[in-house]
Amino acid sequence: MSLLRRRDVLRGAGATGLLALAGCSRGGGGVRQADLGGGTELSILNWELYIDPDEGPTEGTITRAERERGLRVRYDESYEDNIAAWETLIAPTLGAGDTLPYDIITPTFWVAARMVERGWAEQVPLEIVPNHVNIDPAYLTQPWDRGARFHMPWQAGITGIAYDPSLTGRPITSIADLFDPAFRGRVGIIGEMRETVPFGMLLNGEDPSRPTEATALAGLELFEQARASGQIAQVTFGEFADALASGELWLAMAWSGDTVILQTERPDIEFVIPEEGAVRWFDTMVIPRGAANVRAAGEWMDFVYDPANAARITAWVQYISPVIGVREELQRLGGDAAELARNPILFPDDETKRRLFTWGGLPVEAEAALDARFAVL
Amino acid sequence: MAAVATVGAIGLAALVAFVAASRLTSSSDRALQNTGPVLVAIQDVFASIAEADAASAAVFLSGQDEDREQRRLYEVALERSTAQLEEVSRLVGDDDATHDSIKTIAAALTEYAGLVEAARLANVQGVIGASERLRDAIAVVQDRIVPEVESITEGAQARLDDDVGGGQTATILALFVAAAAIGVLVAGQIWVSRRTNRLLNLPLLAATVLVAVALVWLLLAWVRQQNDLELARDGGYDSIALTSDIQTTAFRYKTLESLSLISTGDPDEQVTLARRLAAVDVGEPDLVDSARRGEAVGDGLLLEANRTADSTREQAATAEMLVRWDRYRDTSEDIQLALDANERVAAIELAVGPGNADFNGFNTSVESVLSDNRSQFTTGLRDARNHLDWLRVAMIGLPGLAALACLWGYQLRIREYQR
């Protein structure tokens, strides 16, 4: 089985791509740009397999944006790992007052939060992005950027639990099921601290959107003990899908988008939001400080936030779109796209949304300590 | 004798100019470091309490399966309001009246939080009286917190007006005295030229130029400072006040909606508040397009904010505010329709789902505008202060040099006379 997995990783694979990036230029030195730049050149850094490509006569988003907005896009898919990107590219470059060779980068939200908090992000040029009104309000209440003035979410996902009912022999409903001795050695967890620790916190009755060092640590310890006892067999990224498909794992923490793709071949695999809640994450577009082409970046953001364009991206990447109106556009497209519009993983109902939590973040040093301890898992 | 009179005139000009410069500087410092931040902080306090109030009602509506996101917003807003209140207390210095108001607000906030918790507990346990406790909590905000916030705001606004006008009399007097000193110097020059063979006494000319430079410096600094302070007040603070008004009116609307769902609301007041925000259908595409150019036509605070936007960015941000208000208002009308049809459960589902989401969308769009306005306000205050850099030094230094030049000039005249 060959599955297209966007978040497949790459994430754990290190920073080779980032290290090979073209040299970063000496630039703005933290001075807010006086103008937005009038160029049509646009350089984007994104994760791999995260946008619809040209397929035969059907133009992909990049080609259409170039044609309709007069942009010349250099699209780089070498963003591989948040921690590596932060440590080898973003912090050393922007922290030194240099500029990145990109007008838009698309890190996961917590990296974007760090950039915004340090003043390393340009404001979204609202005057060029009328489609900013189409951001789903769920993404507007982030404490680090209320109103999304410095970022625009690209795609979002849910980390829940996927399982094979024929192997578990019963429905999975709770995070506690990951620790059920009946499934010893058949459980997988996700190798991303900001998704797995929140699961432990939710099981402890804590709110991951407002973690403290103590509550986060208590959440982590649950998984450390389970890993040591052999309850948890694998710490995976996108490989959970293959492991579930082969029966190697019976249940696993799982990414919604990868599970949707898995379900096209294994419709019997279930995806659940545990009763305690699940983790919502999102990758988001940020204009790095001193970017040369803020205007072109704004044009791109506006283009991909047009619901018709956003729907095409969703139909291909199959993650949750942060753009209002995408569901209606998918219905209008018909066929497989209309089928996606009915998928509760892509379009969770209000009751489900209320059980989704986004990691609230800790001070950098505390998160680094948690990252280090989690990495040992 | 002439030398003593001239140097005396310069000394007097220096003294008055220094006093004027000091008063201008201190009023500008006060606006930048005290009055301005107090005005911004007290608006923040009110916005945070209003947000907490709307969120607590939303939590209550979600019933036993509590909406944790709204609960998070409530707790964060309440914590923020307490911290902001402490900031106001720190900034106001020894203003007893403001401190009294702050104490009243702090006590009311504690009572409010207690009532909210009591309502929450009763709600979760299904105990009778939960709604009454929440209504009591809302009444604490309306009856005890709002008047005190308004009192602090009025006091701070009056102080800002004082700061904008601060040092004016002294500056005008200083300009007259400096002009008089120049007159004395010119008279001295004429007197000297009549008693020597020289047409001009260069040191006296230099002294005149130095005093004239001081006068022009003071005049320009004052005009520019006044200009920036007025810009900050009219373009920045007035916009903050308008946007805050939008925010609190909308929060009041949301609270009334929640009360309608709990038991007793006031739909008529809701309609009045909605009209206060926008008297026209702000969802019309033509109107939104006009708003993006800052040309939205119609009555209401939202449209006024759009028309007073002074940058393309702010016009876009206020246009977004209109669109998001329209979305929330549509949902709100659906809630009211459900209530009118006695479908309370459906109405509550709408309120805790899309209603809360749309309202949060609107509220954060208002915050964006507010944030830009604050930035404009503080930038204006900072620019105003920057015009006064070195002013006090110049008002002492330039006349001091002028006095020395003057003495030198008369000394030259005495030497020539002795020869």
Q: Is the pLDDT score of A28 beyond 70?
A: no
- Between A125, A133, A138, which is nearest B320 by CB? A133
Contacts of B357 in chain A (CB under 8 A): 136-138
Residues of chain B with Cβ-Cβ distance to A127 below 8 Å are 292, 312-313, 315-316
- In terms of Cα–Cα distance, which of B23, B339, B345, B68 is closest to B165? B23
Q: Are A279 and A159 in contact (CB under 8 A)?
A: yes
* Predicted pLDDT at A167: 97
Q: Is the pLDDT of residue A114 over 90?
A: yes
Q: How confident is the model at residue B417 (pLDDT cuts 50, 70, 90)?
A: low
| Cα dihedral: B79, B85, B88, B93 (round 10) | -130
CA dihedral B44, B47, B53, B56 (to 10 degrees): -70
Chain B contacts of A277, Cβ < 8 Å?
68
pTM: 0.83
Confidence of residue A16 (pLDDT cuts 50, 70, 90): very low
Q: Is the pLDDT of residue B64 over 80?
A: no
Confidence of residue A41 (pLDDT cuts 50, 70, 90): very high
Q: Does A29 score more than 50 pLDDT?
A: no
- pLDDT value of position A27: 34
Span B356-371, average pLDDT: 89
Angstrom distance (rounded) from CA A218 to CA A25: 43
Residue A10 has pLDDT above 50, yes or no: no
> Average pLDDT in the B99-125 region?
92
Q: Is the pLDDT of residue A95 over 60?
A: yes
pLDDT at A36: 67
Average pLDDT over residues B132-161: 87
Q: Taking CA A31 as the corner, what is the angle to CA A27 and CA A34, rounded to the nearest 5 degrees? A: 100
| Of the partner residues B68, B360, B361, the one whose CB lies closest to the CB of residue A354 | B68
What is the chain A residue with the closest CA to B325? Answer: A133
pLDDT confidence tier of residue A33, bands split at 50, 70 and 90: very low
The dihedrals phi and psi of A74, each to the nearest 5 degrees, come to -105, 110
A209 touches chain B (CB under 8 A): yes
- B308 CA to chain A: closest CA distance, Å? 16
Give the residues across from A44 on adjacent strands. A75, A104
How far is it, in rounded angstroms, from Cα B397 to Cα A182? 88
Contact criterion met (CB below 8 Å) for A231 and A185: yes
Distance CA A161, CA A188 (A): 9
- Confidence class for position B153, pLDDT limits 50, 70, 90: confident
Q: How far apart are CA B226 and CA B161, in angstroms?
A: 11
Confidence grade of residue A210 (pLDDT, cut at 50, 70, 90): confident
Q: Is the pLDDT of residue B128 over 60?
A: yes
pLDDT exceeds 80 at position B281: no
**Region B75-95 average pLDDT:** 88
Asked if pLDDT for residue A22 goes beyond 60, the answer is: no
* pLDDT of A154 above 60: yes
Question: Strand, helix or coil at B404?
Answer: helix
3-class SS of residue B12: helix
Average of per-residue pLDDT across A138-144: 87
Window from A101-115, B87-101, B104-118 with minimum mean pLDDT: B87-101
Q: Which residues fall within 8 angstroms of residue A326, CB to CB, at 6 or more apart?
A: A307, A310, A311, A314
Cα separation, B353 vs B367, in Å, equals 21
Beta strand pairing status for A187-190 and A232-236? parallel
Tokens of A176: 């506690």
A137/B361 Cβ within 8 A: yes
CA distances from B157 to B45, B224, B238 (A): 16, 21, 10
Confidence of residue A37 (pLDDT cuts 50, 70, 90): low
Nearest CB partner across the interface for B357, out of A138, A149, A351: A138
Distance separating the N- and C-terminal Cα atoms of chain B = 20
**A211-220, B141-150, B333-342: which is most confident:** A211-220
Polymer length of chain A? 377
C-alpha B30/C-alpha B44 separation (Å) is 20
The Cα-based distances of A218 to A33, A190, A201 in angstroms read 44, 17, 7
Residue B271 pLDDT class (50, 70, 90 cuts): confident
Residue B73: list chain A partners with CB under 8 A.
141
Q: Does A32 touch chain B (CB under 8 A)?
A: no
A207/B72 touch (CB, cutoff 8 Å), yes or no: yes
| A137 contacts B72? CB cut-off 8 A | no
Cβ-Cβ contacts under 8 Å between A and B: the total is 75
pLDDT band at B65 (very low <50, low <70, confident <90, very high): confident
pLDDT classification of A227: cutoffs 50, 70, 90:
very high
- Between strands A104-105 and A41-47, the pairing is parallel
B130 or A253: which carries more pLDDT confidence?
A: A253
- Of the ranges A6-20, A86-100, A301-315, B111-125, which one carries the lowest mean pLDDT score? A6-20
Name the interface residues of B facing A (CB cutoff 8 Å).
62, 65, 67-69, 72-73, 75-76, 292, 312-313, 315-317, 319-320, 323-324, 349, 352-354, 357-358, 360-361, 364-365, 367-368, 371
Question: What pLDDT is attached to residue B261?
Answer: 84
Which residue has better confidence, A34 or B237?
B237
For the ranges A64-68, A349-353, B233-237, B360-364, the one whose mean pLDDT is highest: A64-68
Q: What's residue B418's pLDDT?
A: 63
